[in-house]
Every structure is written in C-alpha cells, then in structure tokens.
C-alpha cells in the first residue's frame, strides 16, 4: 500500500475468521452434508495383497434389510481411466479406476461396494459379501533394491522434478578425499492421519455431477472425475468448504470417490461414502518407505568435496508417485562434485502419495544426518560445518537464490537455544538429574507459485467479498484471503466474506507444496485493483456522484474511501456510499497469478530455509527418551499471519517428533496388511509428547514470489527435525540410529548409564 492512513492487517497476528464456525459446529465438512433420499456406501476390502478374485458371492448381502445394491466389476458400469493433462490437471495416484479388473494388488483394495438406506445396513452388507481369492505371496519386503526402470516413471508432476542431478566427478572426488562418510538411512512407510476421515457425497442431476469431497485440490478432482465418467469438466462441480486437514492424503482423488459417483449414477440417489480409519491406511496414500545411501567426501577442515545421494523407495503396483528425496540435495550446500540418483522397488502396498514435505522431508533426514555424523567425525561443531559449506548461489542451476538467509537462521537458532554451551562429548551434559542431548539440523523447501485466479467485490453495504477456488485445509487460507482483500479494500477483516473450496469459483491453486499463500497474493491484489478501478470509473461517471466531473485517474482509493488525489484523503467518500448513489450492488474485479512452478529457465532459485535445535532428555534407568525443547528458525519470506504461521511450524515440529520417535506403518508379511492401521497401534505424537516449542521467523520479503514477499510455510517445519532429534539422541546416548523411528530397543545398547 502507498503512504497510508490505513492500518495494515498484513504481518499482524489474526485469529482464524473461520474459527468460531468450527468451534460452534456450524462449519460443514463433506460428511456433514445430508440430502433427501441419500444412501450410504461401504466398500468391501480385499483381505489379500496379491492375487485374483476367484468368486464374489453377493447373494446373502443383497437380501439384507435396507440394502439397495452390491456393486462389483460386473455391474458397476463404465468408469474410464484418467490421464494427466497439462500442468496440475487430471492427476490421481492410483493409475486404474476401481473394479477395472479382478487382480488384487494391495491389501484393502476395494473389490465391491455395498449401498443401503443406512450406514449400519451398508456396513453389515459389506461384511456379508463372500469373496474367495486365488492368493499369491505378497511382496512387502522392507529391504529395498531398485527393480523398476527409472526412465519409465511418470511422476505426479510430470517433467517438473529434477529427477537426477550430477556435477563434477563425484566418484573420483570421493575416493581421493581424506575424510569419508558412507552411511545408509532408512525411513519407514508413514501414513497421513488427518483427524477428519476422507469422505464423498455424490449427487447426479441428469448429466451434472456434484461432489462434496474432502479435497486439497477441487479443480484437479473435477478433472479426474470428469474423465472417469466421460463428462465435460463443466458438468462436474466439486465442493470442499472445510477440510479437517490432509497432509497430502487429500491432494489427489482416491478410488472411493468414483465408486460413490458410480453408485449414485446407478441408483439415481445421492450416495455418501466415508472411509474408516483402517481404510485410510490401505487405500488413501502413504509416504513411501525409503532407503538412502549418502556418501560425503571432505577435507580435514570440513569443506565438502563430494556428495552422493542414492535413494530407493517403495512404490505400489499402480501409482505414479515419485518420492523426490533428492529435492534439496543439489543446492543445499556448496559442493563441486555431486550425484543424486534414485530407484524404485515395487511392493504389494496401496498407492504411495505426497505427505507433508514429500521427498525433501525423508531426503533431508538422510543428508542432514550425514552432515551431523561428518561433523562428529571431524570434531567440528555441526553448525560450523554448515557455515563452512554455505553456497553463494544455487550450484545445481547456476543461478542466485532469490532470498536465502540460512546462516542467519543458524545464528539466531544457536543464540536462542544456547548452543555455545554445548559440550560435544556424548552423555556429558546433565540437567535435573537427566542426561541431555543436543542436536540440530537445517531445512529447506521449495517456494513456487501455482496459477491462481481470484475475484474481489466491493459492495454497497460496505462489505467485501473475495472468491478463489482454492481450499482451506486447516492452514488458515480463509484468513489469509480475508487479510489480502481487507488490506486492499481498506476495511476491517470482519467486513470481508471469503468464498473458497468450490469449482464454480475462479480457479484457485491446489493446497499442496506450501504454495497457496504465495500464489494467491498477486491474483487477489490484481482483482482488488481492478475492482477499485471499476469503482473509480463509477464514481467519475455516475450522475449525482460527488466526483461526477472528475476523470477516474484524478481519483484515488485508500482506507475504503474514494477521494480526489490532489485534495488528499481527508474528504474521501466511502465506497458503499458511492455504490448506493449509483444504485449498484457492487464493483467487481478479477485477477490472475501466473505459475512459476515448472518454469524451465528460472532467473532465481526460490526456496524457504530454516533450522531446528533440539534438546532431548535421556533417563537410562527406565530407557526413557523425551524431546524436551525445540527452537526453530524459519526464513519463509514475509509472514502474512504470524499467529497462523507459528501454528504451522509448531504442528510440523510435533509431526517431526512423531516421525523421529513414533510413526511407522508396518505390513504383515503373510497377508500384506498394514497391521497397525488404527490409532492404538500407529502412534502419533500427542500433547504429552510435545515440549516447549520456540519458533522464530526472519521475515525477509521475497519479491520474486509476489509483491508482499510471502513464501509458504506449511511443510518446511517438518524438514530436518528428525535429523536434529536423532543427533540429539546420539549426543545423549551414544547410539546412532539410522532407521526411523528411534525405538526404545535401539537405545538399550547405550553406554551412557547415568
Ligand atoms: Mo502437501 S504433501 O503438498 O499436501
């Protein structure tokens, strides 16, 4: 904003504008909607992970009270495959519509669908469907060796990933280096566990299909479903008003959605399908297991000479997902010789998918752990090792960073944590009778823009409406949109109505990759500018307007008022008055952000950066390990809403405690089932696991991303945290754990006895 009489709402703590709706139960999530005549669908889950359906006996289920139909391959009707179009369009991870054949490729694959008048009747019917299988041994082997041709991969984002990276001569530089490190790090399969379960309600009206769905990307979902049902996109509407979080599990459509739509089509009634928690472990995506070999060659002083990052991850028989563990490797540190390669190992598991910080989160766990081990080997402070290897530019692309303040993150983090008091000797630090371990790690995450469109209306009652067909997945997008519109229109936040989560709105970005905030700023600002321009035209041309004889460009708008530029804002007239006098309900404008994602020739390397400093306590008598204190510093450009921003980072750190110490999806080697598919056995960090969390933002605007300089913050907080925790575990216990999660059993070999 120019020289301003108006109080800015950017960069100020704002409570969620949707908060009261959520806590009073007014907010309607997809599964909260109800429609007359609505039926309930429950899928039948395969109880093998590899084989063929031999026989499907639905006779008993069909005769049960309230049952409308049991659908399966022979009677579901046509469901087409979908294909990835241009950009982020038509993407779904499971490359096969449900019921396409009789082959079972993973445990829990849907093999039939029971539809009934009530959920209970549908569940009982689904349980009564008798399925016999020709069963083969499932492959859920945890040791990963690449068995899939990497050239054949079709990644989620098509050509956007830098799949392999190489510079210099990493082999020669490694073999001649005086200091070498060669270790392999393993991360397990992890399952997204948003509190809100996935849900679809499908309603047909002739050839029009409406879906109430939990989606992180309503426009992509529309495209996929339009393809699957052979419809033009305009015939499909997707509505996602509130999302109880997603972490990536709701980014791409899963097979329950076309099943609900097919059932609704066949029966001519609205159909609701809500997944069980168990189903979300089987058929709604998970983070791939990874096995990552990292080789570092360095000088005795700690200068990196060679970096090799060779990773393998598991994938399903069906998905197109690429777990891009090497995302941050090529640019994070200065190193003349580098190679990143990947391989894939097919397993009889459900489709893998993006999970918060896909690729970079497991990748940085491995590379940052290797840096910490190298520091110990060299007896150099791990912060200093990173400072020594700070790059001047992005060495992989040969271009400058738009805004990188990684060293300042390290400095601020070390200072706030008290890092200078660290005694590097294992088990040497004590506090409150406990052994303390201190560890740290750096982090990075891409910062790009997806294309976005928005509309802003200034209305005759003094309110403003901003519309953008993106989603709020619990991260605070409603509030950010309101802040952006309020800032431009010069009204308080309470006067802004936000419309999102609907494909009938201007096309907004996917809620993934931490890109929404960065992407919508230019679109909303341009829309507001255009609405204001329209208002000035109205002011100058409406008979009886106080500005009737003026030219629009002699007028200005600020603080919600129109005034004559030459006279200054003092005699301004509120926009509501001008609209009322003109008998107009509103002045409207639309705007657009262009995508920077996928730009083949960027001028700048755009990323967010940060670091974590962690203290753990270790109580060897009872083998009790706790994360006791975390200081995180994030360089994510301008922070539009620090309150929501801190929540994002704190939530990510909590998830990182889970990643480092608790989370692990295990597959039964006999039947291939994810065996801990519930909250009793799949442990996530809870309040009792969460220590004091300190979050600092650097707040340097990055004008390459948008005029406010705001990058995204949804994912970066989870990057690096597991490496910082495992380093702290080593510092406390002397045990180097290279396979997550760290288990109590791993620590029983600790030499630190008290
Ligand atoms: Mo995030 S994994 O890009 O939803």
Q: What is the pLDDT of residues 524-534, one digit of tens each?
A: 999 999 999 99
Write out pLDDT tens, residues 540-571.
999 999 999 899 999 999 999 999 999 999 88
User: pLDDT band for position 161 (50/70/90)?
Assistant: low
Please give the pLDDT value at position 571: 83
Hey, what are 450's tokens? Answer: 């997806």
Residue 120 makes CB contacts below 8 A (sequence gap 6+) with: none
Helices assigned H by DSSP within 627-734: 642-661, 721-733
- 355 Cβ inside 6 Å of ligand 1: yes
The mean pLDDT of 184-189, rounded to a whole number, is: 98
Report d(CA 211, CA 199) in Å as an integer.
10
Does any ligand 1 atom lie closer than 6 A to the CB of residue 512?
A: yes
Ligand 1 atom with the shortest distance to the CA of 513: 3
- Cβ-contact 728, 439 below 8 angstroms: yes
Confirm if 49 and 140 have CB atoms less than 8 A apart. Answer: yes
Residue to mutate (ligand 1; options 161, 353, 361, 512; most atoms within 8 A of CB): 512
Check residue 165 and give its pLDDT.
80
Position in ligand 1 atom list of the atom nearest CA 715: 1
Distance CA 283, CA 192 (A): 11
pLDDT at residue 561, as a whole number: 97
Q: Which residues lie below 8 Å from residue 398, measured CB to CB, with a gap of 6+?
A: none
Atom of ligand 1 nearest to the CA of 353: 2
- Does residue 513 have its Cβ closer than 6 Å to ligand 1? yes
Give me the pLDDT at residue 320, please: 80
What DSSP line would sit under 238-261, residue for residue? EE-S--S--TTTTTS--THHHHHH
Q: What pLDDT, on a 0 to 100 scale, did the predictor assign at position 143? A: 96
Task: Give the dihedral of Cα atoms 382, 383, 389, 394; nearest 10 deg.
Answer: 120
Which three-class secondary structure state does DSSP give residue 438? strand
Residues 6+ apart with CB under 8 A from 134: 51, 52, 54
Ligand 1 centroid to residue 297 C-alpha, Å:
33
How far apart are the C-alpha atoms of 409 and 415, rounded to whole Å?
A: 10
Distance from the alpha carbon of residue 432 to the mean position of ligand 1, in angstroms? 40
The question of whether 715 is a catalytic residue gets the answer yes
C-beta 354 within 6 A of ligand 1: yes
Instruction: Name the token pair of 721.
Output: 């945290």
Least confident of 51-65, 456-470, 543-557, 661-675: 543-557
CA of 248 to the centre of ligand 1 (A): 4
Cα distance between residue 41 and residue 526, in whole Å? 44
Distance 357 CA to ligand 1 centre (A): 6
Residue 695's φ and ψ, nearest 5 degrees, are -125, 130
The pick from 249, 513, 659 for probing ligand 1's pocket by mutation, whose C-beta has the most ligand atoms within 8 angstroms, reads 513
How far apart, in Å, are the Cα atoms of 589 and each of 458, 459, 506, 530?
A: 9, 12, 12, 4
CA distance 97 to 348: 17
pLDDT tens string 25-34: 999 999 999 9
Q: Which atom of ligand 1 is nearest to the CA of 354?
A: 2
Taking residues 601-629, report their average pLDDT: 95
Using the mean position of ligand 1's atoms as its centre, give its distance from the Cα of residue 547 in Å. 49
> What pLDDT does residue 1 have?
39
* Average confidence (pLDDT) over 141-151: 83
Give 110-142 pLDDT, tens digit per residue. Answer: 999 999 999 999 999 999 999 999 999 999 999
**Position 330 pLDDT exceeds 90:** yes
| Over residues 367-385, mean pLDDT | 98
How is residue 729 written in tokens?
């575990």
User: Could you tell me the distance, in angstroms and rounded to a whole number, from the CA of residue 664 to the centre of ligand 1?
Assistant: 19
Alpha carbon distances (Å) from 508 to 82, 323, 455, 469, 505: 21, 25, 10, 4, 8
DSSP 639-667: -S-HHHHHHHHHHHHHHHHHHHHT----B
Best mutation site among 91, 156, 251 for ligand 1 pocket (most ligand atoms within 8 Å of CB): 251
Q: Which two tokens stand for residue 674?
A: 């994810």
pLDDT for residue 2 is more than 70: no
Q: How many CB atoms sit inside 10 A of residue 522's CB? A: 21
**Cβ(248) to ligand 1 under 6 A?**
yes
Q: How many Å lie between the centroid of ligand 1 and the Cα of residue 290?
A: 18
Checking if the pLDDT of 673 tops 50, the result is yes
The most confident of the ranges 154-168, 590-604, 726-740 is 726-740
Please check the confidence at residue 250 and state whether its pLDDT lies above 80: yes
Alpha carbons within 13 angstroms on the beta-carbon side of residue 577 total 11
- Whether the per-residue pLDDT at 149 is higher than 70: the answer is no
Mean pLDDT of the 635-655 span: 97
Give 72-105 as a DSSP string.
-TTTS---------SSS-S--SB-S-TTSSSEE-
> pLDDT higher for 7 or 584?
584
For 65, 453, 466, the CA distances from 470, given in Å and listed in that order, are 41, 9, 12
Are 203 and 264 within 8 A, CB to CB?
A: yes
The pLDDT of residue 600 is 81
**Are the CB atoms for 630 and 620 separated by under 8 Å?**
no
Cross-strand pairs, 56: 131
- The ligand 1 atom at the shortest distance from the C-alpha of residue 251 is 4
What distance in Å separates the CA atoms of residue 478 and residue 240, rounded to the nearest whole number?
A: 13
pLDDT at 11: 96
Q: Looking at 214, 715, 739, 745, which residue is catalytic?
A: 715
Whether residue 315 contacts residue 354, with contact meaning beta carbons closer than 8 Å, is answered with no
Ligand 1 atom 4: the closest Cα is on which residue? 248
pLDDT at 752 over 70: no
Q: Say how many Å lie between the first and final Cα of the chain, rounded.
A: 59
What is the pLDDT at residue 60?
98
Using the predicted structure, report yes or no on whether residue 193 has a pLDDT greater than 60.
Answer: yes
Compute the average pLDDT of residues 75-95: 90
What is the full DSSP assignment across 504-522? Answer: TSSBPPPS-TT-HHHHHHH
Q: With a 6 A CB cut-off, is 356 part of the ligand 1 pocket?
A: yes
Q: Give the model's pLDDT for residue 147.
A: 86
Q: Determine the atom of ligand 1 nearest the C-alpha atom of 514.
A: 3
Strands (E), 575-691: 586-593, 607-619, 624-635
d(CA 513, CA 266): 37
Handedness of CA 233, 447, 477, 594 (dihedral sign): negative
Q: Which residues contact 644 (CB under 8 A, 6 or more apart)?
A: 14, 16, 475, 476, 479, 480
Mind listing the pLDDT tens digit for each residue in 439-493? 999 999 999 999 999 999 999 999 999 999 999 999 999 999 999 999 999 999 9
- Mutate which of 155, 358, 450, 716 for ligand 1? The one with the most ligand atoms within 8 Å of its CB, which is 358
Q: What is the pTM of this model?
A: 0.96
The residue behind tokens 């307007």 is: 545
What pLDDT score does 159 carry? 46
Q: Is there an atom of ligand 1 within 6 Å of 194 CB? A: no
Residue 510 CA to ligand 1 center (angstroms) comes to 9
Q: How far is Cα 218 from Cα 503, in angstroms, rounded to an integer? A: 6
Q: Is 712 in the pocket of ligand 1 (CB under 6 A)?
A: no
Pairing of strands 624-635, 692-697: parallel
pLDDT in tens, 199-222: 999 999 999 999 999 999 999 999
Q: How far is the CA of 19 from the centre of ligand 1 (A)?
A: 23
Q: Is residue 324 pLDDT above 80, yes or no?
A: yes
Q: Assess contact for 183 and 372: CB atoms under 8 A.
A: no
**Residue 157: pLDDT over 90:** no
Q: Which residue has the tokens 């896909």?
A: 358
Type and span of the H or E element at 322: none
């Amino acid at each position: 904003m120019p020289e301003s009489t108006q109080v800015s709402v950017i960069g100020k703590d704002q409570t969620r504008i949707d908060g009261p709706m959520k806590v009073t139960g007014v907010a309607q999530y997809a599964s909260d909607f109800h429609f007359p005549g609505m039926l309930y669908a429950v899928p039948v889950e395969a109880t093998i992970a590899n084989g063929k359906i031999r026989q499907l006996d639905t006779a008993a289920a069909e005769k049960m009270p309230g049952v409308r139909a049991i659908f399966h391959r022979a009677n579901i009707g046509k469901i087409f495959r979908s294909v990835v179009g241009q950009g982020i369009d038509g993407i779904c991870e499971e490359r096969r519509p449900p019921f396409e054949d009789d082959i079972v490729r993973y445990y829990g694959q849907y093999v039939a669908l029971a539809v009934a008048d009530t959920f209970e009747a549908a569940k009982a019917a689904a349980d009564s469907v008798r399925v016999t299988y020709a069963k083969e041994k499932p492959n859920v082997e945890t040791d990963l060796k690449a068995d899939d041709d990497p050239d054949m991969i079709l990644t989620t984002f098509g050509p956007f990933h830098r799949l392999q990276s190489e510079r210099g001569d990493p082999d020669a530089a490694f073999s001649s280096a005086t200091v070498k490190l060669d270790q392999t790090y393993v991360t397990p399969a992890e399952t997204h566990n948003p509190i809100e379960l996935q849900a679809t309600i499908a309603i047909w009206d002739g050839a029009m299909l409406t879906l109430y769905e939990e989606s992180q990307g309503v426009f992509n979902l529309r495209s996929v479903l339009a393809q699957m049902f052979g419809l033009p996109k305009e015939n499909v509407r997707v509505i996602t008003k509130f999302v109880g979080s997603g972490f990536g599990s709701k980014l791409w459509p899963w097979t329950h959605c076309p099943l609900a739509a097919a059932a609704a089509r066949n029966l001519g009634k609205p159909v609701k399908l809500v997944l069980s928690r168990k189903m979300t472990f089987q058929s709604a995506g998970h983070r791939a297991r990874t096995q990552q070999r990292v080789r570092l060659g360095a000088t005795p002083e700690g200068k990196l000479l060679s970096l090799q990052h060779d990773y393998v991850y598991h994938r399903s028989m069906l998905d197109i997902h690429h777990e891009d563990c090497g995302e941050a490797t090529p640019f994070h540190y200065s190193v003349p010789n580098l190679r990143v390669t990947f391989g894939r190992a097919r397993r009889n598991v459900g489709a893998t998918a993006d999970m918060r910080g896909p690729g970079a989160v497991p990748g940085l766990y491995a590379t940052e752990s290797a840096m910490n081990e190298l520091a110990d080997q060299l007896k150099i402070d791990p912060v200093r090792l990173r400072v020594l290897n700070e790059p001047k530019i992005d060495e992989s692309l040969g271009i400058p960073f738009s805004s990188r303040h990684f060293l300042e993150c390290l400095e601020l983090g070390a200072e706030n944590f008290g890092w200078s008091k660290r005694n590097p000797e294992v088990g040497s630090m004590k506090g409150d009778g406990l052994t303390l371990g201190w560890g740290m790690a750096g982090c990075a995450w891409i910062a790009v823009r997806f294309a976005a469109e928005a509309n802003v209306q200034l209305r005759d009652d003094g309110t403003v409406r901003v519309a953008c067909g993106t989603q709020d997945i619990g991260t605070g997008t409603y509030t950010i949109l309101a802040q952006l519109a309020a800032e431009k229109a010069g009204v308080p936040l309470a006067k802004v109505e936000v419309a999102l989560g609907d494909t009938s709105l201007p096309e907004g970005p996917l809620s993934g990759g931490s890109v929404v905030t960065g992407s919508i700023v230019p679109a909303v600002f341009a829309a507001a500018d255009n609405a204001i321009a329209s208002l000035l035209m109205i002011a100058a041309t409406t008979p009886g307007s106080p500005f009737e004889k003026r030219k629009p460009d002699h007028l200005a708008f600020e603080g919600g008022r129109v005034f004559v530029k030459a006279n200054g804002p003092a005699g301004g007239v509120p926009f509501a008055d001008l609209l009322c006098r003109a008998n107009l309900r509103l002045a409207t404008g639309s705007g657009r952000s262009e995508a920077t994602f996928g730009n083949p020739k960027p001028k700048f390397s755009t990323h967010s950066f940060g670091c974590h400093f962690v203290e753990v306590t270790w109580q060897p008598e009872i083998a009790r390990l706790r994360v006791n204190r975390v200081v995180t510093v994030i360089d994510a450009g301008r922070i539009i809403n620090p309150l929501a921003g801190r929540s994002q980072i704190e939530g990510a750190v909590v998830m990182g405690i889970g990643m480092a110490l608790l989370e692990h999806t295990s597959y039964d080697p006999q039947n291939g089932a994810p065996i801990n598919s519930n909250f009793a056995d799949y442990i996530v960090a809870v309040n009792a696991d969460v220590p004091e969390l300190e979050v600092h933002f650097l707040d340097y605007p990055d004008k390459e991303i948008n005029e406010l300089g705001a990058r995204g913050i949804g994912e970066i907080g989870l990057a690096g945290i597991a490496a910082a925790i495992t380093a702290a575990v080593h510092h406390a216990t002397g045990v180097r754990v290279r396979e997550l999660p760290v288990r109590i059993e791993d620590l029983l070999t600790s030499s630190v006895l008290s």
